[in-house]
Amino acid sequence: MLTRKQLELLELIDTRMKRDGVPPSFDEMKDALNLRSKSGIHRLITALEERGFIRRLAHRARAIEVVRMPEALEKRVPEVIEGGAPAPAPAAQPARAMPVHEVHALELPVMGRIAAGTPIEAISEVSRHVAVPGSMLGGKGEHYALEVRGDSMIEAGIHDGDIVVIREQTTADNGDIVVALVEGQEATLKRFRRQRGMIALEAANPAYETRVLRDDQVAVQGRLVGLIRSY
């Protein structure tokens, strides 16, 4: 239910309240979360309040009360494939009970489906949430998830029905697998390459052709940072 930044801020406020009895200042929050301005903190505070995790008390400076913390995630842990690479075959285990270790996880919104094939209309509404290991979100920035439809990226280890984890960004390096919005109408998951002022969106399946478009026809909306597959 919470984004990475929202959870980081909630944990910061809760820790400081328990330690000092007062929440951190907005400047302290901004520095702790590596944000450029306090307006980002205002948005995060508002989102936490709307979701019922904190309460702001009127007519008192720095008066924030933590109402509740997120419940522990008890869902099964999905197979995680870092960077979209195929997962290695699991090693054989002896036939005995194995200890279960807690896995730090966050919930990301699944923003709909993304085409790994012929581009489909972009979808921006949250359809559900998915638990994602925190280790997959090591970098800064906001993240979201998309369900893959199609097989054009199958040789990159991305299959139909997989959930891809995307870090929001508007730039990409050659070779990155990105969410690309084409002419403002259709979204696709492809490998990004810039060639002499043109953008090539490459498939990872020889059955699909590379699309070459003008720079102004392609908007990068995020980069692939991980993949989740359920069996």
CA distance 194 to 173: 8
Cα atoms in the 13 Å half-sphere on the side-chain side of 126:
11
- Burial (Cβ within 10 Å: 0-12, 13-18, ≥19) of residue 175: exposed
Question: In 3D, which of 143, 152, 173 has the Cα closest to residue 6?
Answer: 143
Which one of 25, 124, 135, 190 is the catalytic residue? 190
Residue appearing with tokens 């301005």: 37
- Burial (Cβ within 10 Å: 0-12, 13-18, ≥19) of residue 207: exposed
Contact of 146 with 164, CB cutoff 8 Å: yes
CA distance 199 to 187: 15
Which one of 135, 140, 152, 230 is the catalytic residue? 152
Sign for the pseudo-dihedral over CA of 200, 224, 50, 28: negative
Active site residue 190: yes
Tokens of 217: 């026809």
The per-residue DSSP string of 107-138 comes to EEEEEEEEESSS-EE---S--EEEEEEGGGG-
DSSP E strands, 21-89: 54-56, 64-66, 79-82
Q: Which residues are catalytic?
A: 152, 190
